Structure 1
Amino acid sequence: MKCPFCQHEDTQVLDTRVSEEGDSIRRRRRCNFCEKRFTTYERVELAMPVIVKKNGSRTDFEPAKLRASMMLALRKRPVPADQVDAAIQRIEEKLLSSGQREVPSGQVGELVMSELQRLDKIAYIRFASVYRSFKDVAEFHHVIAEIDHERKK
């Protein structure tokens, strides 16, 4: 760590403390060259990737928007809120762990469909019908056949 006063690179940590919230570390340092003291903070920097929409525009990831679309598909379905929260958490973790700075909206949609398929088959079909823009009943039949096939495995 460079000294902010003399720019010398030889500094010594005198004291380290974790913040009350536990989300940062405060360090008191001393420059071994000019002997001035200063404080530094360490925080985890987690940045969700930017979502690239089909039209090419970019928008910030919004967990509330994700929750709203999932809750719409899960409307009047017997799925506990804690399971929905866990599914949203898994989606966020997959996006963070991907290491990508930008993610196509289609990838987010596929993650949502995967989670809905685990939670509730009806919600999955509802979401898929809107997300994939079903044009006719045959597309519904195809998705239902896929679910039946997986269920029989």
Structure 2
Amino acid sequence: MKCPYCGFTQDKVIDSRESKEADSIRRRRECERCNRRFTTYERLDEIPYMVIKKDGRREKFDRKKVLSGLLHSCQKRKVSATQMEQIVDAVESSVVDSAERERSTREIGELIMDRLKDIDTVAYIRFASVYRDFKDVNEFKLELEGLLSGKDSKGKRTGR
């Protein structure tokens, strides 16, 4: 912590106390150069991680929503709870580790589909049909053909 009096960056903590509301920590510090004391406060980062929806709306990232979508896609499939949890963990890590506070649903959906495709192709198709909002049987057919040929619907080579 930089001393507000002399700018020196070395100090020692003399006292630490939690605030009455338990939402911050108050620390009394003493500069090791000028020996003057000053107070700092630590607070949790309160800016939420946001998801940009297809229509431009922004929502707080909700891990439960990701898991819910996976549960629907994987219903009656041999996808374990552990595998679904790993996908959700990967998505959450991607959101939290990003330099940006906002991620698009497109990025999140693609990440889920990439992982789901390697685990269970039926669950993948179920998820893709909702995520990509297939309008008719032809779009569904194109996705299936791409999956069978080893490419996704955008022509990218898959790992199969």
Could you state the TM-score of these two structures normalised by the residue count of structure 1?
Answer: 0.73
Give the Cα separation in 1 of the matches to 2:141 and 2:53. Answer: 28
Q: Which residue of 2 aligns with 1:142?
A: 142
Amino acid at match of 1:80: S
Amino acid at match of 1:30: E
Could you state the TM-score of these two structures normalised by the residue count of structure 2?
Answer: 0.70
In structure 2, relative to structure 1, the CA distance for the partners of 1:78 and 1:61 (3 Å cut) is same
Q: How many residues align?
A: 142
Give the Cα separation in 2 of the matches to 1:90 and 1:47. Answer: 21
Amino acid at match of 1:103: R
Flag structure 1 segments of 5+ consecutive residues without an equivalent. 16-26
Amino acid at match of 1:33: C
Flag structure 2 segments of 5+ consecutive residues without an equivalent. 15-26, 151-157
Give the Cα separation in 1 of the matches to 2:53 and 2:115. Answer: 20
Shift of 1:28: 7.3
> Could you tell me whether the CA contact under 8 Å between 1:46 and 1:96 is conserved in 2?
no
Q: Which residue of 1 aligns with 2:153?
A: none
Shift of 1:12: 2.1
Runs of 4+ in 1 over 4 A off after TM superposition: 37-43, 45-48
Amino acid at match of 2:84: V
Task: Verify: 1:33 aligned to 2:34, yes or no.
Answer: yes
Q: Percent identity?
A: 33
